[in-house]
Structures are given as C-alpha cells and as structure tokens.
Structure 1
C-alpha cells in the first residue's frame, strides 16, 4: 500500500526536491500551526486508498525518541475513522550532519507495531491519550536498538 507523508513546507521550496518528493506522495505541512490543508491532504490520500505517514514529533530528535508528540496523527485518525499503526525508525538521527549540507546514507532499522484502534471522538483528551499511547509504543520499539 503506498504511503503519503507529511513533509515540512520548506522542502517544497526547492524545485527539484519538490518534484521528487511529490512523486512519492509527500505533501506540505506548516509545522508551527494546525495546518488544515495538510489534514485535508491526508484525508484525501486515505480516501484514495493510500496510508498516511505522520511523524508524531514533527522533526528528528537528537536521540531518535519522541519527547513532544503532536496530536495531528490522532486527529486525522479520528476524522477518517482509521486506526493508527506505530512505526519506529531507528537511525534517522544520523542522516543529517553538521559537517555536511547533504544527507548521509546510514543503516536504518524499521519496526512496525500493532494497530491502535481509531479514536471514537475528536475530543482533545482522547486524542492526547491516543497520541501518548502511540508515542510510548514507538519509543518502546526504538529502545530495542538496532
């Protein structure tokens, strides 16, 4: 099943990169606010049979763990009545280097967890609880290391 990923809007300002990532189903998101157009894009991809990849943290962290998860994935799941699938990407923290403007090829470990049922409402408390559960499951998989 193809997966469409939210990607920071700055990536879509680089002409060649914009075309490349759009071909793979990426769509822009404004990370500093609740981006309704990104939510609509995610829902449209889901309606068209795609999965939607949303990074709970919104960016990479130094150690790869989720420390400040955002509610976007749970909100999309609530609106689409779709379950969440926790996925851990171990090793992404090493892709970017302060020494180079270009990303490095590094080995990654991908772990896929169990489905988490869709939220029954869009109430903030339920979305927060579901987001925390998803983050805990991803961090538990991440803690397994390579």
Structure 2
C-alpha cells in the first residue's frame, strides 16, 4: 500500500503541475499501466491547477491499496465553489485575468477530471472543497 501526501501552494503558477509530475513518476516507477497513468496524469494536473488558481492551496493525498484501487483526494481550505453545476459545465470558468494570461482557466478542469476518472465525488462549501477521484488499476 502507498499513502503519500503532497502540498500545493496558492497562486504558485511557477510550479503548476509539479505535484502531478511527481505522482505520475511515482506511479510509473511501480508499474502502473500507461493507459491508467495517462488518465491519472490528466485528472491530477487539472485538479492541481484548480487548487492553484481558485483555492487557497491545499493537499493532494495519493492512496494505492493492495487490491489495486488508486485514490486521489484533493483538499483545500476554501473558498469553495459557489455554483458547482456551472463549474461542471465545459468552458465555464471563474479564472482570474492573471490565470488566463498565463494560459490557464479554460473551464475544462472538472469536466475533464470526471471524464477520465472511474470514481468522482466533490463536496464543496465556503470552508473548502474535497474532490475524491479513483481509478481501478487491477483488472
């Protein structure tokens, strides 16, 4: 079993994608199949970017159980997603002008995460958001 936590800093555009790359490298080293690795990389990157752009930073917890269930939990301390239904709509974004100028904020994040994940759950309030996604690694 693997259980590892990673820190994501608010507004840390210079390191955007760093944690996702670390997770992808770790999973690659232990032999996760490439097709699953690709899905995990997409979902993890999108969620990490959302934490940098929209939240006040947070943590990503990776768990790989012996039965092959891979879970990623993205937890941030706020400010929450005001309209989750809109946030799930492709192309809808509340990204700042700064984020857009840096090439982020296309409004595809949550949509893409849900699309590539085997399991998707999101809980949000003004005190934070917890996104839990899962992947079936073992067949």
TM-based fold match above 0.5: no
Whose relative contact order is higher, 1 or 2, with alpha carbons under 8 Å and at least 6 apart?
2
TM-score by length of structure 1 reads 0.30
TM-score by length of structure 2 reads 0.31
Report the structure number with the largest CA radius of gyration. 1
